[in-house]
Structure 1
Amino acid sequence: MTFAKKALVFGSLAVLGVGAAATAQTALNGAGATFPAPFYQRAFADLAAGGGTRVNYQSVGSGAGVRQFIAGTVDFGATDEPISAADAAKVSRGVVQFPTVGGTIAIAFNQPGCNLRLTQRQAADIFLGVINDWKQLGCKPGRISVVHRSDGSGTTFAFTNSLSSFSPAWKSRVGEGKAVKWPVGVGGKGNEGVAGIIQNTPGSIGYLNQAFVKGRIRAAAVQNKAGKFVLPNLKSGAAALNNIKLNSMLAGEEPNPAGADSYPIATLTWVLAYRKGNGAKASSIRAAMTHLLSPAAQGKADDLGYVPLRGAILNSARKAIANIGS
């Protein structure tokens, strides 16, 4: 079973190394986004296997990860939506935020015999419930079963942010956020939960990280800003992420990127670390985060269904790690 498949089976991921150099004192606990969980699992497993710091990462969703980070119950948090200024102000130890990897959010479906190509309006209309039969999309007739996230999710924020950019109707009726009032559909917890429902429900459609597209689940080609229909993959994801400009907190988004090669729903994902108060764990935290951004870890991102960081974004992320103090 591959690492990505394990992510589908387990709602939370715990990666514990056996290296002699890793002791109970250097073990770290993190929690947050499910979107990057297979990438984190692989990277932290490799780190531990090489005798480095042991990391236990719980994929509980971005919303829960930010709450645990604010409460100080973890050594680091993880989120697919950058931390808000209001939440950052609640963290007396200070916040060091940096992106760790990129990814595309697939509109994923389970409808045998259907080769799905969606305009931006169609994408929004499916989740509004305006399109509710597969025959409206040129496929074999049958009821469309919409699946969405039930938990607070940065993946949901990025997805609904794009739908708001695609459709004035979506923006006025639903809008964007980690949690929204869905017009239709059933909820699943985490990317794993949504993938599980789609996998087991013919006629279903939802949204999830490209890394979870496997088995009976297929990804739709979605029309981009340039009018081209593109599938979520390394090339289209990298083209999209090149449009993101980061601010002083290394946060940034582009809900409908320009460019003929860009997939229109792509996002970065971030780690939240403490600027101070890390004590003896500070060096271990810096080492673990440095590994996430290393050529070894980033080099495996594509095989796991992610878009590796490159250029200015990667350099800025690496520099931020130095701000994690004791």
Structure 2
Amino acid sequence: MMNLSVKARASVAVVALTALLGACGTPSVGSLSNSGGSAAASGAAAAKGTLNGSGASSQVNAQQAWRDTFTKNTGIRVNYDSTGSGTGRQQFIAGQVAFAGTDSLLKEDELAKAAERCGSEPLELPLYISPIAVAFNLPGVKELNLDAETIAKIFAGKIATWNDPAIAAQNEGVNLPDLPVIPVNRADDSGTTKNFQQYLAQAAPKEWTAKPSDVWPIKGTQSAEQTSGVIELTKSTEGAVTYADASQVGELGTVKVKVAGEYLAYSPEAAAKIVDGSPLTKDATDRRVTFDLKRDGSVAGAYPIVLVSYLVACTSYPNAGDAANVKSYFEYMASKEGQEVAAKADGGNAPISDSLREKVNAAIALIGK
């Protein structure tokens, strides 16, 4: 299969709303506080300047919505560069950014390096939950039913055409074209790739034997960089199929995944159900609220192809202003208002639950102490 790499990085304009500081001091952040999560008025009152972050492209719409409102209310300029999860983690460890977004957990060696950079264990907090859609470009077809085994075969290159019996048997009455199946994967180091493979490995272990990682394990495939890249390549290629944050698939056709004997469409509610029904990882701490997602398709009503995107930060910074800015921004992202703002702008992600917010806020409270 011919390799096709697309440099279609999601370029997001930097939002830089500058607040005029008069005799009354820093702009009020009162509108950022609510019963669901404080915006840390005490920390934000002293905060000013610029806050830089980078990482997961899945968060790009949410980050734009968060920083629009946050900057407007605080005067703190937030920059978020959607470089991809792996690059974001690397830049955070190197001290190039104050925070990072990542769709996959920090690896053991990354944790050690992040702790060295921060002077203590870093924060790793789940602030963005979204279903991963299996999206395709087939003329006249907007929705398909597929089980995990068939999805795994498609992305492993074991199914050659869209009218294959394995697909047709699950889609009676659908006019499936005799088109080649063209799987499209992420070319960059991607947490979405790892989350998707984790689903395949859990739900279809006989068909997907590769160990899940941020790097796509099959060589010679059609690929593109960033979420926007795989979406654009799939849109422009009849017969293409990809995996991507559901909020960004647009008009592409999508797959209903077999879950507990029924075919289930993705939704924010179904994605959130997986998170609330899954245990924390064995190495989770009061600073690292990390989940071991149950993706095998056994939980009724819970969409199993989910990414939980984390925000990574230090609890202390050489510059006290950076700590105040990070604390204020993280508290806003975790707040009910922040989660609702992101969900409205993103159109596909699920707000975190109140119980999860309590854990997250307890960790954020450690910043600057």
1:3 is matched with none
- Aligned residue pairs total 316
Output the TM-score relative to the length of structure 2.
0.81
Equivalent position SS for 2:113: coil
Q: Is the 8 A contact 2:48 2:76 kept in 1?
A: no
Q: Is the 8 A contact 1:256 1:265 kept in 2?
A: no
The amino acid of 1:261's aligned partner reads G
**Which moves more between the two structures, 144-153 or 129-138?**
129-138
Deviations 1:195-233 (A, max 9, x none): 111122221100000111213x12210112x12111111
- Deviation, 1:24, is 11
1:120 is matched with 148
Q: Is the aligned partner of 1:321 residue 2:358?
A: no
Partners of 1:179 and 1:12 lie apart in 2 by 24
Q: Is the aligned partner of 1:65 residue 2:106?
A: no
Residue 124 and residue 213 in structure 1: after superposition, are their counterparts in 2 closer, same or farther (change >3 A)? same
Deviations 1:144-191 (A, max 9, x none): 11111000011111001111112224442x220001322563111111
The amino acid of 2:242's aligned partner reads G
The amino acid of 2:107's aligned partner reads S
1:233 is matched with 267
Equivalent position SS for 1:264: coil
2:180 is matched with 143
Residue 19 and residue 311 in structure 1: after superposition, are their counterparts in 2 closer, same or farther (change >3 A)? same
The amino acid of 2:138's aligned partner reads Q
Q: Is the aligned partner of 1:211 residue 2:211?
A: no
Deviations 1:121-165 (A, max 9, x none): 001000011112111123111011111100001111100111111
1:242 is matched with 276
Output the TM-score relative to the length of structure 1.
0.91
| Correspondence for 1:179 among 215, 219, 225 | 215
Q: Is the aligned partner of 1:11 residue 2:11?
A: yes
**Which moves more between the two structures, 291-300 or 56-65?**
291-300
Q: Is the 8 A contact 2:9 2:225 kept in 1?
A: no
Equivalent position SS for 1:237: helix
1:129 is matched with 157
Q: Is the aligned partner of 1:252 residue 2:291?
A: yes
1:42 is matched with 65
The amino acid of 2:266's aligned partner reads P
Q: Is the 8 A contact 2:187 2:216 kept in 1?
A: no
Q: Which runs of structure 1 show a deviation greater than 4 angstroms over 4 or more consecutive aligned residues?
A: 21-25
Q: Which runs of 5+ in 2 are unaligned?
A: 1-7, 21-25, 28-45, 169-175
The amino acid of 1:121's aligned partner reads E
* Aligned residue runs from structure 1 range 186-201, under 5 A: 186-201=222-237
Partners of 1:282 and 1:32 lie apart in 2 by 19
Q: Is the aligned partner of 1:102 residue 2:129?
A: yes
Partners of 2:144 and 2:303 lie apart in 1 by 15
Partners of 1:68 and 1:161 lie apart in 2 by 25
Q: What RMSD over aligned residues (CA atoms) do the two structures have, in Å?
A: 2.1
Equivalent position SS for 2:101: strand
Partners of 1:149 and 1:219 lie apart in 2 by 18
The amino acid of 1:233's aligned partner reads S
Q: Is the aligned partner of 1:298 residue 2:356?
A: no
Q: Is the 8 A contact 2:70 2:76 kept in 1?
A: yes
Deviations 1:264-307 (A, max 9, x none): 11121101101222422211111111111122221134332101
| Correspondence for 1:83 among 96, 106, 109 | 106
Q: Is the 8 A contact 2:185 2:224 kept in 1?
A: yes
1:202 is matched with 238
* Aligned residue runs from structure 1 range 257-276, under 5 A: 258-276=298-316
- Deviation, 1:245, is 2.2
Q: Is the 8 A contact 2:192 2:244 kept in 1?
A: yes
1:4 is matched with none
Partners of 1:66 and 1:110 lie apart in 2 by 32
Partners of 1:198 and 1:313 lie apart in 2 by 35
2:194 is matched with 157
Q: Is the 8 A contact 2:315 2:323 kept in 1?
A: no
Equivalent position SS for 1:151: coil
The amino acid of 2:311's aligned partner reads V
Q: Which runs of 5+ in 1 are unaligned?
A: 1-7
Deviations 1:34-60 (A, max 9, x none): 111111111111111223421000000
Partners of 1:257 and 1:284 lie apart in 2 by 40
Over the matched positions of the two proteins, sequence identity in percent amounts to 26
- Deviation, 1:11, is 3.1
- Deviation, 1:235, is 2.2
Partners of 2:219 and 2:112 lie apart in 1 by 33
Q: Is the 8 A contact 2:179 2:239 kept in 1?
A: yes
The amino acid of 1:266's aligned partner reads V
The amino acid of 2:216's aligned partner reads V
